[in-house]
Amino acid sequence: MGAYVKLLEYDNIDGMILLSELSRRRIRSIQKLIRVGRNEVVVVLRVDKEKGYIDLSKRRVSPEDIIRCEERYNKSKIVHSIMRHVAEKTQTPIESLYETIGWPLNKKYGHSLDAFKLSITNPDIWTDIKFPSDAVAEELKSYIGKKLTPQPTKVRADIEVTCFGYEGIDAIKAALRTAEARNTSETQVKCRLVSPPLYVLTNTCLDKNAGIARLEEAILDVRTSIEAAGGNLVVKMAPKAVTESDDAELQALMEKRERENAEVSGDESVSESDDNIPETLAQLTHHLHNPSHPSSPHPSPKLPTPTQQTASPMATTPRSIWSSLYRRRPPSSPSISPPTFLRSFSRYLIGFATWLPPLIWFNAHVAELTFMRGQSMYPFLNPHYHESTRQDLCLVWKRGVREGLRRGMVVVFRNPSDPKKMSVKRVVGLEGDVVRTKAPYPYEWVAVPEGHVWVEGDGEKSRDSNYYGPISMRLLTGQVTHVVSPWERAGRVRWWEHPERGGVNKAR
């Protein structure tokens, strides 16, 4: 017994991994250990040439061997794709290409792919190779140049540079310039400002490891320079290769910081009504003390006689006029805009949210509305089950469900076979009763133990206590007390009018 496989490196010949050679640990699930279509690294145990059997082992392969084997296999796939392309273009047998090019390079450089990559920068690789024809040599070199030319890799590091010393920003500029001091034609380190004090160092190179090492050197130079000036450097993101999505996130962050740092001036504008306040106050004070002055634009009003005064004397005092002046709204002040839809919606949403926890608590511990599904209580509930898809909507009372239980009550409980499901049945027997059972219960009579009840459905097809026996009262979650819908049947559930089931010897 085992798993049949095909050896990819040997022209897909059949092999077999014995069940004992699948894993060192105890096998709990074969499906999780072996999946159809997945590549695995195995080692050959035995080969029977007469019968053609190849026994393989998966558990005897170490993790290091798996990494090396997968790397060699992936390299060989790339080399084979190159050889196949050249063979098709030049009409040359692929085996002759391996004999004259591939296998000699394997012996000399360890793998043909390494030699192909090296030939891009060092053409001397082909000195000892005898090509079948000039067309093969030209096609192979051009295709290697297209397929294996390394793509530049972008490496990035995020740093925070601060300096609160005397030199301040000048010290930060000088420290960041040291990151670019060692730039060469191959490695170019660039420093960009996101928003103070966050800066980004980037480097684009062909070798990722060399780019990471160059950025680490640049960070060390910046740290040395800024600490000498009394500043500090914190690496927020260590040097690593980034993709286009990372660059897009960085650009979005820079735009966000730019918007946040933009100057928004709101203190420079002066309203028109504020310009003339001092002059107005001076003129008003002058008119109050000299109401008959010729320069007054308004004639002096005559004071009413004591019998003609209808307003309070304080209405003409300077205090009341000053109060009215300050109480007056400037003409240029904007009017209060009516509440927007978002404000109104937010207010209603907050009001609803304050009622949500009490509603959840009420639904979980007091009462809830539940649709009755199925035909286990037919025809007492869902009397139109065989005529339509309409279901009864009932009120389930949850407080004190285990108190005052009576035979004939309709209760809701968690199904003992699947506690995630809720069932609706009728209480037939209470604790201490002896109930005559129905099929498929194995015994004809059963005594209901303490703390349990015997429940059955009214319908013919009902999975109840005759399947799983008496249920614990702790599984009860509510009593069906009222029918809410349909309207013609709305009202209290009159369980006491239901005829009692025979075959129950009551304990009390």
pLDDT of residue 1: 66
Question: Residue 137: helix, strand or coil by DSSP?
Answer: helix
Q: Is the pLDDT of residue 457 over 80?
A: yes
**447 & 382 share domain:** yes
Angle between helices 63-90 and 134-147 (to 10 degrees): 130
- Any idea what the CATH number is for the domain that residue 40 is in? 2.40.50.140
Name the pLDDT band for 431 (thresholds 50, 70, 90): very high
| pLDDT one-digit tens code per residue, 65-95 | 888 888 888 888 899 999 899 999 888 898 8
Q: At what angle do helices 169-179 and 208-228 cross, to 10 degrees?
A: 150
Answer for the pair 55, 15: CB distance below 8 angstroms, yes or no. yes
Same domain, 494 and 376: yes
The pLDDT of residue 261: 66
**Least confident segment among 76-85, 270-279, 330-339:** 270-279
pLDDT of 335 reads: 47
**What CATH code is carried by the domain that includes residue 112?**
1.10.150.190
Q: Indicate whether 337 belongs to any domain.
A: no
Residues 457 and 394 reside in one and the same domain: yes
Angle at the Cα of 394 from the Cα atoms of 393 and 399, rounded to 5 degrees: 150
pLDDT at 45: 85
Determine the pLDDT at residue 284: 39
Co-location of 116 and 130 in the same domain: yes
Tell which of 215, 241, 258 closes a domain: 258
Note whether residue 269 is domain-resident.
no
Q: Which of 112, 376, 423, 462 is catalytic?
A: 376
Is the pLDDT score of 316 beyond 70?
no
**What is the DSSP-derived secondary structure letter of residue 399?**
T
pLDDT over 50 at 441, yes or no: yes
* Domain extent at residue 476: 367-505
Residue 339 binned pLDDT confidence (cut-offs 50, 70, 90): low
Q: Residue 283 pLDDT more than 50?
A: no
**210 in the same domain as 186:** yes
Question: How far is it, in rounded angstroms, from Cα 3 to Cα 21?
Answer: 10
Angle between helices 318-327 and 277-289 (to 10 degrees): 160
In 3D space, the residue among 245, 154, 243, 244 whose CA is nearest the CA of residue 204 turns out to be 154
* Domain match, 168 and 136 both: no
Structural domain includes residue 295: no
Asked if residue 115 has pLDDT above 70, the reply is yes
Residue 492 belongs to a domain: yes
Asked if 33 and 140 sit in the same domain, the reply is no
Mean pLDDT of 154-160: 90
pLDDT of residue 63: 84
3-state helix, strand, coil in the chain (%, to 5): 40, 20, 40
Lowest mean pLDDT across 66-75, 211-220, 226-235, 297-306: 297-306
Query: 60: which 2 tokens?
Result: 């005897």
Which of 26-30, 228-232, 298-302, 405-409 is predicted least confidently?
298-302
Quote the CA–CA distance of 278 and 282 in Å, as a whole number.
Answer: 6
Residue 341 belongs to some domain of the structure? no
Which of the two residues, 362 and 19, has the higher pLDDT score? 362
Dist CA 188 CA 203 (whole Å): 6
502 vs 329, residue with greater confidence:
502
Amino acid 492: pLDDT: 94
The whole-number pLDDT of residue 40 equals 85
In single-letter form, the type of residue at position 27 comes to I
* Same structural domain, 473 and 412: yes
Of the ranges 21-35, 109-123, 303-317, 318-332, the best mean pLDDT one: 109-123
Question: Which has the minimum average pLDDT: 294-298, 338-342, 453-457?
Answer: 294-298
Please state, rounded to an integer, the average pLDDT across all residues of the chain. Answer: 80
The CATH number covering residue 392 comes to: 2.10.109.10
Residue 118 located in a structural domain? yes
Q: Please, are residues 411 and 425 in contact by the beta-carbon 8 Å criterion? A: yes
Residues 137 and 160 in one domain: no
* Boundary-marking domain end, from 199, 233, 258: 258
Q: State phi, psi for 362 to the nearest 5 degrees.
A: -65, -40
Mean pLDDT for 319-329 is: 44
Q: Is the pLDDT of residue 356 over 90?
A: no
| Contact criterion met (CB below 8 Å) for 116 and 168 | no
Q: Which two tokens stand for residue 497?
A: 């009018």
Q: Which residue has the higher pLDDT, 324 or 392?
A: 392
pLDDT value of residue 205 = 81
- Domain end residue (candidates: 120, 147, 174): 147
Based on the domain organization, do 479 and 391 belong to the same domain? Answer: yes
User: Is pLDDT at 267 greater than 60 in this prediction?
Assistant: no
Q: Do you know the residue count of the chain? A: 508
Answer yes or no: is 361 within a domain.
no
3-state secondary structure of 150: coil
Active-site choice (58, 117, 225, 425): 425
Q: What is the pLDDT of residue 470?
A: 94
Q: For 9-49, what is the HEC assignment?
A: HHCCEEEEEEHHHCCCCCCCCHHHHCCCCCCCCCEEEEEEC
The predicted model gives 151-160 an average pLDDT of 87
pLDDT tens digits, residue range 94-106? Answer: 888 888 888 888 8
Is 216 found in the same domain as 193? yes
Flag the least confident range among 186-200, 304-318, 487-501.
304-318
Per-residue pLDDT reduced to its tens digit, 468-482: 999 999 999 999 999
Q: Which pLDDT score, from 0 to 100, does residue 292 have?
A: 47
Confidence grade of residue 338 (pLDDT, cut at 50, 70, 90): low
335 vs 429, which has greater pLDDT? 429
User: What pLDDT score does 149 carry?
Assistant: 73
- Measured CA to CA, the distance from residue 136 to residue 83 in angstroms comes to 10
Number of domains observed in the structure of the chain: 4
pLDDT higher than 50, residue 128: yes
Residue 332 among the catalytic residues: no
Mean pLDDT of 375-380: 88
In this model, does residue 29 exceed pLDDT 60?
yes
| Range picked from 181-190, 296-305, 312-321, 452-461 for highest mean pLDDT | 452-461
Reply yes or no on whether the pLDDT at 354 is more than 90: no
Is 152 within 8 Å of 206 (Cβ atoms)? yes
Q: Assess whether pLDDT exceeds 90 at residue 211.
A: no
CATH code of the domain covering residue 245? 3.30.70.1130
For 148, counting Cβ atoms within 10 Å of its Cβ (0-12 exposed, 13-18 middle, 19+ buried), the class is middle
More confident residue, 276 or 170: 170
**226 and 112 assigned to the same domain:** no
Closest of 454, 431, 434 to residue 445, by C-alpha = 434
312 versus 411: which is more confidently predicted? 411
425 is catalytic: yes
Q: Is residue 316 part of a domain?
A: no
